[in-house]
A and B are shown apart, each in its own frame.
Chain A
Amino acid sequence: EVQLVESGGGLVQPGGSLRLSCAASGFTVSSNYMSWVRQAPGKGLEWVSVIYSGGSTYYADSVKDRFTISRDNSKNTVYLQMNSLRAEDTAVYYCASATRGGSSRAFDYWGQGTLVTVSS
Chain B
Amino acid sequence: DIQMTQSPSSLSASVGDRVTITCRASQGISNYLAWYQQKPGKVPKLLIYAASTLQSGVPSRFSGSGSGTDFTLTISSLQPEDVAIYYCQKYNSAPWTFGQGTKVEIK
Give residues in A with beta carbon < 8 Å to B.
35, 37, 44-47, 50, 58-61, 94, 98, 100, 103-108, 110-113
Contact = CB atoms under 8 A, between A and B. Distances in A.
Most chain B C-beta atoms within 10 Å of own C-beta, residue among A60, A61, A104, A113: A104
A108 to B, nearest CB: 5
Interface string B3-46: 00000000000000000000000000011101010100001111
A37 to B, nearest CB: 8
- Give the dominant DSSP class at A's interface: mixed
B95 A58 contact: yes
Contacts of B83: none
12 contacts: A35-B96, A44-B85, A44-B98, A44-B99, A45-B89, A46-B98, A50-B94, A61-B1, A105-B32, A106-B34, A107-B46, A108-B46
B34 to A, nearest CB: 4
